[in-house]
Amino acid sequence: MFRGLSAFPLTPCTPEGIDDAGFLRILERLVSAGVGSLGVLGSTGSYAYLTREQRKRVAALAKQQAGAIPVMVSIGAVGTAQVLQLAEDAQHAGADALLLPAMSYQTLTDDEVFGLFETVSRHVSVPVCVYDNPGTTRFTFSDDLHGRIAALPRIGSIKIPGVPADAAAAHARVQQLRGKIPAGVTLGVSGDAFAGLGLNAGCEVWYSVCGGLFPHTAKAITDAAARGDHARVTQLTERLAPLWALFRQHGGSIRVMAAAAGVLGLTQVDCLPRPLLPLPEAHCAAVAAVIEELGLE
Amino acid sequence: MFRGLSAFPLTPCTPEGIDDAGFLRILERLVSAGVGSLGVLGSTGSYAYLTREQRKRVAALAKQQAGAIPVMVSIGAVGTAQVLQLAEDAQHAGADALLLPAMSYQTLTDDEVFGLFETVSRHVSVPVCVYDNPGTTRFTFSDDLHGRIAALPRIGSIKIPGVPADAAAAHARVQQLRGKIPAGVTLGVSGDAFAGLGLNAGCEVWYSVCGGLFPHTAKAITDAAARGDHARVTQLTERLAPLWALFRQHGGSIRVMAAAAGVLGLTQVDCLPRPLLPLPEAHCAAVAAVIEELGLE
């Protein structure tokens, strides 16, 4: 399942909790577009902001809507005890894979992060994707640590945060990391602005925020990558530059995607879990303009 | 209660969960030394690593052991929904005050952090201490934001991360912040190496990691501050330099204090919640040597 387009949807919220109907509308959009897998409760899915009960419910709703499409569920938390509870909940809900970041509070050592993955890999029965996201977790994986972790049982993929902005350097980066990990473990690019570079550099999967709301737009890119059409991948990714610019402008993708879900009428415009606040109205208008201009769908 | 020595104990753990007996031994040490208040589940108390159920238990054990000494309980979490659950649990356990940090995952805006404190101040019935700790939470409070939050109902104190290393600059820093907040809100210094500077600069309370295991040592400093004996405060704090050096060497105080609790025989040497790992044996010996050399008690 760690190949092609893995779509990372928002978890829309209301003041009362999860917006079930809005979440199901978003999922239906992804399922009917035929994405390769769903990655629920990723950073865009607000895993870090939700209670254990809310995370259980999100996993259950995703499995209910996904049909035959595999569902990966993030089990990220600061403490190993919390992570193991969440892993049990996710597996109970039917998760086909688990996504595990190295969330930090105290600065973690490599041995501590290895220990976390080692413990989880011993306790779970479904594949695990290593979630490398230094921007939010404040932990930076070395390639050696990736190698140690990827050799553990059940590790199926690594979600990397991006690649260098130059095609040759991106290729070298992916090759370097691949040299450290077992052959069966795939590499997935994240940080949507790097999607084209990462796919052309040999990443097997795009863990995609854009694909969590605009699955046709994102799937055209992973389909081109699957055909080996590097030029088309580059062209399709580069034309999305105005979307990546919005992500940069707003300190990440989550507030932009929440605004976009509201613009599309899938959720309320204010659909982020507190303490996160929605973009002001003027910025939502700019998001609407980019959706229209690029024909995102 | 936001005055004098507020002792922040570890929450010792075993592979099975909270080490109840070890925690009670630590609390008994603090209670019999007559600390001004207990601050359980602070950063040193590993709040971020524990499950909701474990945090409930820690608050209950602290209230059970504290007698007449007020107990402050940290309710820190990334999401507001989680924070409100924890606030309810803590109040149900009898917490006399709540400690609230601005934990971040996505980078937070000032309005988002204000909104968190505004919501919590509306929902709770006991005083709240604002926990400003950019090192672990990755959110930096501006003085203007401190002023907005401190004006909310139920805000009783601000736990600041430290003061400038020069006495005059520390005084100016405390005066500057005090100028932004209501008269009834106290300022408490944190970051133990800054305790003497902070107290001499006018902080009313020391939120103390050292005091969470060595209450007599810490209380001598806050007692001197209460007498206005600045020279003695400085002398007593500066002689603890070898302890502060250990904190710096190990990227913070928590691993050092966990080793110290083991050295004292209050807990197992390995008493940190995973994924945190204990200091290697050679470093524990160095911790033991500093305890002995300084006569920490």
Q: Please write the tens of the pLDDT for every residue from B7-48.
A: 999 999 999 999 999 999 999 999 999 999 999 999 999 999
A192: left (phi over 0), alpha (psi -120 to 50) or beta: alpha
Instruction: Name the B residues in 153-192 with CB < 8 Å from any A CB.
Output: none
Q: Stretch B141-167: mean pLDDT, rounded?
A: 97
Given B131, B180, B207, B219, the catalytic residue: B131
Q: How far apart are CA A74 and CA A98, in angstroms?
A: 6
Residues of chain A contacting B17 with CB distance shorter than 8 Å: 81
CB A77 within 8 A of CB A103: yes
Residue B1 has pLDDT above 90, yes or no: no
Q: How far apart are CA A267 and CA A204, in angstroms?
A: 31
Q: Return the active site residues of A.
A: 131, 159
Percent of chain A exceeding pLDDT 70 equals 100
- CA count, 13 A, side-chain hemisphere, B78: 25
Tens of pLDDT, residues A184-199: 999 999 999 999 999 9
Please report the pLDDT score of residue A16 as a whole number: 94
Please report the pLDDT score of residue A127 as a whole number: 98
Across the A:B interface, residue pairs with CB atoms under 8 Å apart total 112
Q: Do A79 and B105 touch (CB under 8 A)?
A: no
Tens of pLDDT, residues A197-213: 999 999 999 999 999 99
Tell me whether residue B180 is one of the annotated catalytic residues: no
Cα-based distances in Å from B219 to A8, A194, A288, B41, B239: 52, 55, 60, 20, 14
Residue A173 has pLDDT above 90, yes or no: yes
Query: Token pair of B286, please?
Result: 């160095």
Residues of chain A contacting B119 with CB distance shorter than 8 Å: 274-275
Which residue type does A175 have?
Q
Tens of pLDDT, residues B48-77: 999 999 999 999 999 999 999 999 999 999
Please report the pLDDT score of residue B53 as a whole number: 98
Q: Cβ of A24 under 8 Å from any chain B Cβ? A: no
Length of chain A measured in residues: 297
Please report the pLDDT score of residue B140 as a whole number: 97
Tens of pLDDT, residues B139-149: 999 999 999 99
What domains lie within chain B, and their CATH numbers? 4-239 (3.20.20.70)
Q: How far is B75 from chain A, CA to nearest CA, in Å? A: 13
Q: How far is A280 from chain B, CA to nearest CA, in Å? A: 12
Q: Do B275 and A80 touch (CB under 8 A)?
A: yes
3-class secondary-structure state, position B218: helix
Residue A134: CB atoms within 10 A of its CB come to 13
Tens of pLDDT, residues A270-295: 999 999 999 999 999 999 999 999 99
Q: Report the DSSP pairing between strands A37-40 and A71-74.
A: parallel
Q: Stretch B111-123: mean pLDDT, rounded?
A: 98
Tell me whether residue B47 is one of the annotated catalytic residues: no
CB B240 within 8 A of CB B264: no
pLDDT class of A1 with cuts at 50, 70, 90: confident
Q: Which of B121, B274, B283 to mutate to test the interface with A (most CBs of A within 10 A)?
A: B274
Instruction: Name the A residues in 66-105 with CB < 8 Å from any B CB.
Output: 78-82, 85, 103, 105
